[in-house]
């Protein structure tokens, strides 16, 4: 089993940080790269001509590796919302069709479609959070609902951010394909931890940022675009998205046709000398460990917590219904007031989410961390 990687991070021994699903600490190596990058920006005359493009392609390749994509199928974007807005510009959602979203899903895969629905004449159907926690069955039932208008798109997270509810993207993708519907996956809470192979799954779009499970900075995210959608008009019109619009040319607008792959969808002002390399380092570390090894370790930690909290008045979702790296605890009558603050006062950090407690360890956590969480939580609840 992959060992704890705590030594690669600046995490004091008295800190028990179990909140990777909000944002992860940066590895020491990434912090060092960021400091060096600030120095480079302070002395830009030292940068080689090819420096910016090398950074772009390094990050693109690192992101592609995480989902078994080709680099040419991945666009550099700043946020999930940017990616969804790009998709909305590419897709024509038929009138009187349905776009499926999840109840209380994060805002990015939902609000774009709600904003467009009235003018474009389609319906956004919200799949209610199932009482039994089985998101996959709920999504499949919505897709297959007899007599309902056809589904044109499912825009959903592969892991629900609030409680770690797991959606079987293979089953959902197959059901959508049977109906000719598109599939947009927000992989924010799964990229790097749950293995994804876009060549096998063949979704239309996959989007993920680096600041959570990929150990990177804010403002860096990636959009996988299936090749059948690589002939559209980008969200922004940039020189980098065109075949030959270059400042060093004698004629600036030499060839304004779009480049022929997902690079046309890259964001403008993509020369982020500081954060692009930082994002690459985190993704490369995650890819080197491998999703199976990371998942095995985090499953061990969350199962250890689940076993430890039995009998103290909390409810834990069944393992087959939740992601292996996120554990959500529900409390009868709601989470006690001051509980999150009480944990933090003892150096234990988790997140309150929609009335539940979300625990999300990463590779920097160890068995002592989760045992300490169980001990402090038990003491506070009984006290």
Q: Give me the DSSP letters along 214-268.
A: T---TT-EEEEE-GGGTTS--SS--STTEEEE-TTSSSSEEEEEEPSSGGGGPPS
Question: Is the residue at 259 inside a domain?
Answer: yes
Pairwise CA distance, residues 215 & 208, whole Å: 12
Count up the domains in the chain and report the number. 2
pLDDT in tens, 246-270: 999 999 999 999 999 999 999 999 9
Residue after which a domain boundary falls, among 287, 320, 344: 287
At residue 161's C-alpha, the angle toward residues 155 and 167, to 5°, is 55
Same domain, 213 and 257: yes
Same domain, 190 and 320: no
Strands 151-157 and 98-102: parallel
Same domain, 129 and 86: yes
Q: Which domain holds residue 189?
A: 36-287
Question: Is the residue at 66 inside a domain?
Answer: yes
The pTM for the full model equals: 0.97
Per-residue confidence (pLDDT) for residue 383, from 0 to 100: 82
Question: Is the residue at 351 inside a domain?
Answer: yes
Pairwise CA distance, residues 170 & 162, whole Å: 22
Strand partners, 99: 124, 153
Pairwise CA distance, residues 115 & 107, whole Å: 12
Same domain, 254 and 352: no
- Helices and strands in the chain, H and E counts: 11, 15
Q: In this model, does residue 273 exceed pLDDT 90? A: no
| Averaged pLDDT score across all residues of the chain | 97
Contact in structure between 216 and 282 (CB atoms under 8 Å): yes
pLDDT in tens, 1-37: 999 999 999 999 999 999 999 999 999 999 999 999 9
CA 178 to chain centre: 26
Strands 242-245 and 221-225: unpaired
Same domain, 222 and 174: yes
Joined tokens for residue 380: 């506070």
Candidates 240, 276, 234; CA nearest to 59 is 276
Same domain, 148 and 186: yes
pLDDT in tens, 146-169: 999 999 999 999 999 999 999 999
Query: Strand, helix or coil at 290?
Result: coil
Same domain, 305 and 247: no
At residue 288's C-alpha, the angle toward residues 285 and 292, to 5°, is 115
Pairwise CA distance, residues 179 & 347, whole Å: 50
Pairwise CA distance, residues 189 & 211, whole Å: 10
**Class of residue 288 by CB neighbours under 10 A (exposed 0-12, middle 13-18, buried 19+):** exposed
Average pLDDT of the segment spanning 344-350:
98
Q: Which residue has the tokens 């309150």?
A: 352
Q: 273: how many CB neighbours lie within 10 A of its CB? A: 16
Residue after which a domain boundary falls, among 287, 302, 327: 287
- Give the end-to-end CA distance of the chain in Å, rounded to a whole number: 36
Same domain, 283 and 302: no
pLDDT in tens, 184-230: 999 999 999 999 999 999 999 999 999 999 999 999 999 999 999 99
E strand or H helix at 357, and its extent? strand 356-359
pLDDT in tens, 47-106: 999 999 999 999 999 999 999 999 999 999 999 999 999 999 999 999 999 999 999 999
Give the CATH number, domain containing residue 323: 3.90.1150.10
Residue after which a domain boundary falls, among 287, 307, 337: 287
Q: In this model, does residue 285 exceed pLDDT 90? A: yes
Contact in structure between 120 and 91 (CB atoms under 8 Å): no
Same domain, 178 and 302: no
Question: Is the residue at 30 inside a domain?
Answer: no
Same domain, 195 and 315: no
Average pLDDT of the segment spanning 298-319:
95
Same domain, 78 and 142: yes
Q: 42: how many CB neighbours lie within 10 A of its CB? A: 8
Question: Is the residue at 24 inside a domain?
Answer: no
Pairwise CA distance, residues 74 & 189, whole Å: 18
Same domain, 295 and 274: no
Contact in structure between 149 and 97 (CB atoms under 8 Å): yes
């Amino acid at each position: 089993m992959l060992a704890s990687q705590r030594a690669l991070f600046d995490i004091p021994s008295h800190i028990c940080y179990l909140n990777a699903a909000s944002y992860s600490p940066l590895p020491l190596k990434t912090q060092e790269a960021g400091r060096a990058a600030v120095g480079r920006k302070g002395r830009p005359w030292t940068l080689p001509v090819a420096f910016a493009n090398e950074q772009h392609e390094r990050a693109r390749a690192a992101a592609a590796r995480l989902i078994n994509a080709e680099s040419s199928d991945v666009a550099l974007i700043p946020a999930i919302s940017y990616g969804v807005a790009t998709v909305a510009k590419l897709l024509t959602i038929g009138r009187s069709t349905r776009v499926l979203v999840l109840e209380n899903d994060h805002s990015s895969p939902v609000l774009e479609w709600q904003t467009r629905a009235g003018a474009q004449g389609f319906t956004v159907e919200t799949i209610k959070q199932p009482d039994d926690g089985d998101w996959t069955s709920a999504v499949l039932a919505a897709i297959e609902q007899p007599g309902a208008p056809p589904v044109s798109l499912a825009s959903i997270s592969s892991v629900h951010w609030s409680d770690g509810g797991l959606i079987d993207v293979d089953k959902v993708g197959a059901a959508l394909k049977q109906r000719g519907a598109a599939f947009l996956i927000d992989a924010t809470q799964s990229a790097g931890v749950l293995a994804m192979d876009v060549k096998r799954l063949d979704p239309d779009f996959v989007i993920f940022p680096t600041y959570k499970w990929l150990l990177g900075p804010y403002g860096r995210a990636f959009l996988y675009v299936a090749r059948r959608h690589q002939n559209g008009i980008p969200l922004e019109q940039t020189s980098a998205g065109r075949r030959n619009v270059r400042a060093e040319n004698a004629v600036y607008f030499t060839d304004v046709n779009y480049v022929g792959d997902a690079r046309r969808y890259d964001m403008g002002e993509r020369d982020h000398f500081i954060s692009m390399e930082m994002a690459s380092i985190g993704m490369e570390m995650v890819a080197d460990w491998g999703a199976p090894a990371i998942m095995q370790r985090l499953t061990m930690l969350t199962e250890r917590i689940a076993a430890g909290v039995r009998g103290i008045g909390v409810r834990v979702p069944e393992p087959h219904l939740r992601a292996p790296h996120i554990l959500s605890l529900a409390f009868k009558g709601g989470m006690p007031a001051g509980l999150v603050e009480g944990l933090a006062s003892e150096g234990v950090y988790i997140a309150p989410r929609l009335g539940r407690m979300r625990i999300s360890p990463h590779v920097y956590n160890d068995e002592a961390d989760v045992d300490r969480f169980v001990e402090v939580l038990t003491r506070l609840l009984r006290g």
